[in-house]
Amino acid sequence: MNRKMKQLFLKKGKEESLLRFHPWVFSGAVHHTEGDIAEGDTVRVLTATGDFIAVGHYQQGSITVRVLSFSDTTIDDAFWAERLQQAFNARRAMGLTDNSLTTAYRLVHGEGDMLPGLIIDIYGQTAVMQAHSIGMHRSRHQIARQLVAVMQGRIAHVYYKSETTLPFMEPENGFIIGGSDENIALENGLRFYVDWQRGQKTGFFVDQRDNRSLLEHYAHQRRVLNMFCYTGGFSFYAMRGGAQLVHSVDSSAKAIELTRRNVELNFPGDPRHKAFCEDAFKYLDGIDGYDLIILDPPAFAKHRGALHNALKGYTRLNAKAFEKIAPGGILFTFSCSQVVTKDHFRNAVFTAAAQARRSVRILHQLHQPADHPINIYHPEGEYLKGLVVYVD
C-alpha cells in the first residue's frame, strides 16, 4: 500500500461498477476526499467502509477518477513500462510492430489498453502522444521515456499533442523526445503525409485502416465519392482498387490540400481524382451518377444530450446519399460518435433508406480495428460503427 497517496471515499454501495472492473468513478459516487487533492493527482479509491478498490487519476468533472489499476500499486516508471509493454505485445501479436507495408498504427488506446486518458499512435519513427486527462498530461515525460525504451529502437521521436483535448491546460504541441521533419507513413503499402502539428486527432485516422482496405475491393470501375474525406484515405485506396473516377469532398480547405498531396504522393498526375472544398449537404444536393459513396462524418454527438439531434443528422445525411446513389451502388457509411450505439446507427440508416424508398441490403457490419481494442469491462470503448450496403 502507498500511504503517501491521497485518498477518495465512495458513497455506500457505489463501488458496484468498480467491482465489475469498470475504469471510471463518476462524481456522483464520491462521498469525500482526504487531503488537498489537485487535478491530475494519483489517488487511492476506497469504499465507504475504507476498503481499497482502485488507484487512478483524479480530475474535476463528471468522471472524477480514471482507474489505472485495481491493485494497490505505485504509479511509477515500472508501472508505465509494464503497461506499455503489454500494449506493444498485443500489437506485435497483430503483426503491426514490424510490418514493412504498414508503419502507422495505434499503440495505446486509452481504456482499451488499461491506460485511460492516453492515446499513442505510431507513424514510422515518430510516436504521437495525446492526453485526454490531466493526470496523463502531468505524466507525459515519464511515459515518453518508458515508451522509447519499450519500443527498442522502433521509434526515435515522441511528439506531444494535447492542445485540442486539454484546451484549458494550454499545453504546447511539440517534440518532447527527439525531433523530425519526416512525416510520411505507410498503410498497406500506400504512403500518406501525417500532419501531427495541425491535423485532427494525431494527424491521421488510423482506425479506418481495415475499412479502407475493404473499400479497395469494391472500387473497381466504380465512380467513387468520398465525403468528409479529411486526408483522403478512402480516396487513394479506391484509386488503387481501379476506380473509374474518385471525387473527394470536405468543408476544410486544409483537408482538401492534404488529400491532394496524398493522392499525388501515390498516383502522381492521375486524372481520375478531383477534390472539392464544399459543404457535404450542398454538394450532395447537386450530384448524380456515383455508384460508390463513402460517408465518414465527424462525430455528430459528443455527449448524450446531443443524441437525438445526432440521429436526425445521420438519417438526413444517409437519406440524401440513398436518393443520389446509382442503382447497384454501394454505400460505406459510418458513425464515430461514442454515444451512438450500433442499434441507434443501424436504425438511422434503415429510416434513411425508407425515406428514400430504396431497396437496401447489408453486406458488411464494420467496426474499429484490433489496434483500437475494447476493454470488455468498458463497452463505451466501442465507438466506431459502420455499414456497407448494396442499393438496388
Tens digits of per-residue pLDDT, 295-348? 999 888 677 778 888 899 999 999 999 999 999 999 999 999 888 999 999 999
List, in order, residues 6 or more apart from 38 with CB less than 8 Å away.
58
Whether the Cβ atoms of residue 122 and residue 144 lie closer than 8 Å to each other: no
Tens digits of per-residue pLDDT, 349-358? 999 999 999 9
Whether the Cβ atoms of residue 96 and residue 107 lie closer than 8 Å to each other: no
Instruction: Tell me the pLDDT of the chain averaged across its residues.
Output: 94
Cα–Cα distance list, 66 to 23, 59, 108, 118 (Å): 6, 8, 15, 11
Share of the chain above pLDDT 90, in %: 86
Amino acid (one-letter) located at 293: I
- Tell me: pLDDT of 197 over 60: yes
Neighbours of 32 (CB within 10 A): 10
- Widest Cα–Cα separation across the chain: 70
Beta-ladder partners of 227: 249, 295
Q: Quick one: average pLDDT of 80-91? A: 98
Share of the chain above pLDDT 70, in %: 99
Whether the Cβ atoms of residue 248 and residue 280 lie closer than 8 Å to each other: no
Unique residue bearing C-alpha cell 465489475: 20
Tell me 170's DSSP state: -
pLDDT of residue 3: 56
**Band of the pLDDT at 77, cuts 50, 70, 90?**
very high
Nearest-CA neighbor of 363 among 205, 217, 245, 207?
A: 217
- Tell me: pLDDT of 367 over 70: yes
Neighbours of 268 (CB within 10 A): 7
